[in-house]
Structure 1
Amino acid sequence: MRLTLAQIATGTDKAHNLALIDAAARQARAAGADLVVFPEYAMYEKAVVDASFADAAEPLDGPFVTGLRALATELNIAVAAGVVERSDHDGRPYNTILVVGPDGGTLARYRKVHLFDSAGFRESAWIAPAPSLEPVVFTLAGTRVGLMTCYDLHFPELGRELADAGADLVLACSSWVPGTDKPEQWRVLVQARAIENSYFVAAVSQAPPVSIGRSLLAGPSGRVEGELGDAPALATFDIDPARVTATRARNPALANRRYVVGRPGPASGPAVRPASTA
């Protein structure tokens, strides 16, 4: 599969944001991409999440997503983008990654599980947490693709759940808040999720000033295979699931593990260490 990471800087003008997505998607298609990936909150973004996100929210048949569907159909490309999804059950909307297929249909929808209640921010005051903890994985161009969002990178359990669900590649759509040590944490966490699960991690972030940029792809051994700076830009990569298989054959850590959080362990061994009888 050919993948383009589209590092853009969106704001509060949804029509302008859709125009940015349109321009980047056309460049990705010209590069031969099967999938173009945009950051978290590509639909609507500002430095601090507040009540305006609920005002900006739309259902998945609203005008913004309708525009995404039309674009994907016109270009015959899959599009993944962060949207603010209206909730029918909560005054707070969802922070959602929507993947639209080349036919305009929905390939996947992931609502953010771990809201950014950290470093003085409280995303959960304005955004509803996902009602489901099930990992979201879809198939495109022979590749199994999993989804996570920004702060989810801090939680290795989700990365492992996506591995167990068959992901060859995980998209980490983000708006990584600037701050002390944040660029280093971003890079290390992306590499760590790739290393411990032996899959690709494609992490795309908003560009400054709201976020840090520095979108990157880590391969299944953890090596950074390409990285952007802080300006809006695109990067295109070829993803070969055979590399995931080969990496797991060399380092069968997933098969060797003895701890599994929240789910039954592999048939080859116990999920947890037996209690001591001493």
Structure 2
Amino acid sequence: MKIALAQINSTADLEANLGLVRDQAARARDAGAAVVVFPEATMCAFGNPLAEVAQPLDGDWARRIRALSAELGIVTVHGMFTPGEDGRVRNTLLATGPGVEASYDKIHLYDAYGFAESDAVTAGGSIATFELDGVVFGLSICYDVRFPDLFRANAAAGATVNLVCASWGDGPDKAEQWEALIRARALDTTTFIVACDQADPAASGRPATDSTPLGVGRSAVISPLGRTLACLPQGPELTVVDLDLAEVEQARRKLPVLANARRIGPDGRVVAPGATEAEAG
């Protein structure tokens, strides 16, 4: 299955961002991709009043994305903002296209490195996956990549490909952390990791001036055994990778980390299979 990564710089202009999605999705379709993955915050870049642009999943933005995905015959996955609680928004992924409709609200909010996402965003409460041609994809957003349990839960739900859509904050060692984390999540779960970040805004002439996470580029595809199959530079770029899904089963025979995993209870002891929460401590 061919998967495209569209490493873009979104802005505050929703119409311009929609034009980017259309252009990149058309190029991905023409290259034979079945799925094109866009970054977190494709709808509108961070650093803008998100509550003013947030729309429900049946709103104008999502309807137009669905229409262009159907027109082009390709599944698109991208970040948008939907209404949350108490005037906040939800940081949402929408996956849509022929035979696919799924959404995911970011569970782990980026309250780190001087940025407080929870001030403006309501956290999600459950994982989400979608299936295309027998392949299950797990969804995650940016800071989620620091939390292995989410990726293991996606794998337990059948995912053999985990998508990470990000607007990764820049700073000392941050790009190196991004690269280490996406490789680690592949090895944790023996799944493909398809990680699409916003392009580094400096490469487009608008460097970040504060802690707002705008992107470092370096989108990548990692194999189930941690091999880098594709890695983009910092600036805007589209790439298409042909995934050999048989590699997942091969990796799991060699490295059965999911089958070998033992659950550790809050008391630090191994939990017997099938134990209740009370029995687990």
Tell me whether the two structures share a fold, i.e. TM-score over 0.5.
yes
Q: How does 1:130-209 map to 2 (within 5 A)?
A: 130=124, 132=125, 134-209=126-201
CA contact (8 A) 1:14 1:43 kept: yes
Partner Cα distance (1:271, 1:150) in 2:
32
Q: Give the match for residue 83 of structure 2.
A: 86
Instruction: Let me know the Cα RMSD of the aligned residues.
Output: 2.3
Partner Cα distance (2:108, 2:161) in 1:
20
Q: Any runs of at least 4 consecutive aligned residues in structure 1 with deviations exceeding 3 A, and if so which? A: 264-267, 269-272
CA contact (8 A) 1:84 1:93 kept: yes
**Cα-to-partner distance string for 1:126-159 (whole Å, 9 max, x where unaligned):** 11111x2x32111112211000000000111111
**Which residue type is aligned with residue 34 of structure 2?**
D
Report the 3-state secondary structure (helix = DSSP H, G, I; strand = E; otherwise coil) of the residue aligned with 2:58.
coil
Q: Give the match for residue 21 of structure 2.
A: 21
CA contact (8 A) 1:260 1:271 kept: no
**Cα-to-partner distance string for 1:179-218 (whole Å, 9 max, x where unaligned):** 1101100000000000111010000000122210110000
Within the alignment, does 1:259 sit opposite 2:263 as a pair?
yes
Q: Give the match for residue 120 of structure 2.
A: 126
Aligned length: 264
Identify unmatched segments of 5+ residues in structure 1. none
Partner Cα distance (1:223, 1:261) in 2:
32
Deviation at 1:59, TM superposition (A): 1.2
1:67 paired residue among 64, 68, 77: 64
**Cα-to-partner distance string for 1:108-140 (whole Å, 9 max, x where unaligned):** 10000001000000000011111x2x3211111
Q: Give the match for residue 216 of structure 2.
A: 212
CA contact (8 A) 1:34 1:141 kept: no
Report the 3-state secondary structure (helix = DSSP H, G, I; strand = E; otherwise coil) of the residue aligned with 2:110.
coil
Partner Cα distance (1:22, 1:79) in 2:
10
Q: Give the match for residue 10 of structure 1.
A: 10
Partner Cα distance (1:8, 1:271) in 2:
46
Q: How does 1:209-248 map to 2 (within 5 A)?
A: 209=201, 210-248=214-252
Report the 3-state secondary structure (helix = DSSP H, G, I; strand = E; otherwise coil) of the residue aligned with 2:185.
helix
**Which residue type is aligned with residue 67 of structure 2?**
A
Deviation at 1:235, TM superposition (A): 1.0
CA contact (8 A) 1:41 1:84 kept: yes
Partner Cα distance (1:216, 1:261) in 2:
34
**Cα-to-partner distance string for 1:147-181 (whole Å, 9 max, x where unaligned):** 00000001111111111111100000000011110
Q: Give the match for residue 95 of structure 1.
A: 91
Partner Cα distance (1:206, 1:260) in 2:
36
Deviation at 1:266, TM superposition (A): 8.8
Report the 3-state secondary structure (helix = DSSP H, G, I; strand = E; otherwise coil) of the residue aligned with 2:262.
coil
Deviation at 1:239, TM superposition (A): 2.1
CA contact (8 A) 1:259 1:270 kept: no
Partner Cα distance (2:28, 2:276) in 1:
43
Deviation at 1:240, TM superposition (A): 2.8
Q: Percent identity?
A: 41
CA contact (8 A) 1:33 1:77 kept: yes
CA contact (8 A) 1:255 1:266 kept: no
Within the alignment, does 1:58 sit opposite 2:69 as a pair?
no
**TM-score, length-scaled by structure 1:** 0.89
CA contact (8 A) 1:96 1:110 kept: yes
Identify unmatched segments of 5+ residues in structure 2. 202-213
Q: Structure 1 residues 126, 198: closer, same or farther in 2, change over 3 A?
A: same
